[in-house]
Amino acid sequence: MKDLYSEGATGIAKLIIDRAEKLRESGGAVLVFPHRSVDGDCVGSAGAVTLIFRSLGANAWIAMPEPLPHNMAFMGIDDLIFYPPQDFLDGDMTVNGHPYELAFSVDCSEGHRMGDNCSIFEYYEDSLDIDHHEVTHIADPLKWIEPRASSACEMVFYAAEAVAGLLGKSIGQVIDPLCAGCLMAGIVTDTGRFTYTNTRPETLETAGILMELGGDITEVCYNLFDLKTPSEFAISNAACAAARFLCDGKLAITKVTNSMFEQYGAGRDEISEVVSRLRNVGGVEFACVLRETEDGAVRGNLRSKTDFDCSEFAERYGGGGHKRAAGFTAEGADIDALADEIIKEAGKFL
């Protein structure tokens, strides 16, 4: 493990070992919280943290904010998932018969990123966290936040390595093949199959170890990148065909309306590749996909090639993310007016 990660990984590993022991004694459960609009990294890291707690004898489940997307069914993590009922906090607060005693967030640090699970996450103030997003106002010894890491999953791998080291176990005793597949899914997702600039030499080394531990990179890449449903194929092509290229071809933007989702019978997660397809066009510096949500908001996905700061731009609309990939949800916005505004505002930087 590189020095960059060792202090943070060791710190969170000690906490995981300590909390797992407490849960083992009490019979309580940890809930692991991914963000809403789930992706391979948050689901993969949530699955992996759940499995690491289980390897230590503790009860653990992923607190899913929404149904698992069809392209993640191959991960084989159905048994790890708990869908908290709406009235969870008003009831006996048990998770499959075990009292909810610990919250653990992955790939996000704040309750408002977790959809309907926000209040359940925020019930405990002393939650643990592994996240690679820039969260400037959080400095908490219970949270390991490292924006230089490619993915939450890469961080969870280093945490698992540290757990194994502290307990004198082999890495295979902490990361089983199911866990290795989860971690591979997240690393592959957030690095765009090891092509984005967040891919570091140690990212590739980590992926190599995960292969040895049973993570199937071919299966992960096919399911998360290449496999398309017919509706996904159709609506993505329509969204790309409707894209506009402005500011001398530096800005690409497209809109996906509710009527398009109806027309193609497509789910909201079926246009996720559109924004990177727009960014890949030669000359494009900033790509934006706006889509209407079921509840009257507009979701924006942003990507940039070099200098444009997507994270900073997303913050104007209450969102966030990384410099080259970010998103936001604008409640009650009009998609056409929002598109015009983004063209005007982003144009100032292009």
Binding residues (CB under 5 A) for Mn ion: these are 41, 107, 151-152, 190
Q: How far is the CB of 190 from Mn ion (least distance, A)?
A: 5
Could you report how far apart the first and last alpha carbons of the chain are, in Å? 39
Q: How far is the CB of 151 from Mn ion (least distance, A)?
A: 5
Q: How far is the CB of 46 from Mn ion (least distance, A)?
A: 11
Q: Which residues of 216-248 are buried (b: 16+ CB within 10 A; e: fewer)?
A: bbeebbebbeeeeeeebebbbebbbeebebebe
Q: Which residues contact 143 (CB under 8 A, 6 or more apart)?
A: 109, 128, 129, 130, 131
Cβ distance 103 to 33 under 8 Å?
Answer: yes
* Residue 114 vs 342, nearer CB to Mn ion: 114
CB atoms within 10 A of CB 92: 8
* Residue 100 vs 144, nearer CB to Mn ion: 144
* Residue 183 vs 247, nearer CB to Mn ion: 183
Q: How far is the CB of 107 from Mn ion (least distance, A)?
A: 4
Q: How far is the CB of 204 from Mn ion (least distance, A)?
A: 17
Position of tokens 């004694």?
A: 25
* Residue 105 vs 151, nearer CB to Mn ion: 151
* Residue 107 vs 292, nearer CB to Mn ion: 107
Cα torsion at 91, 94, 99, 101 (round to 10°)? -80
DSSP 226: I
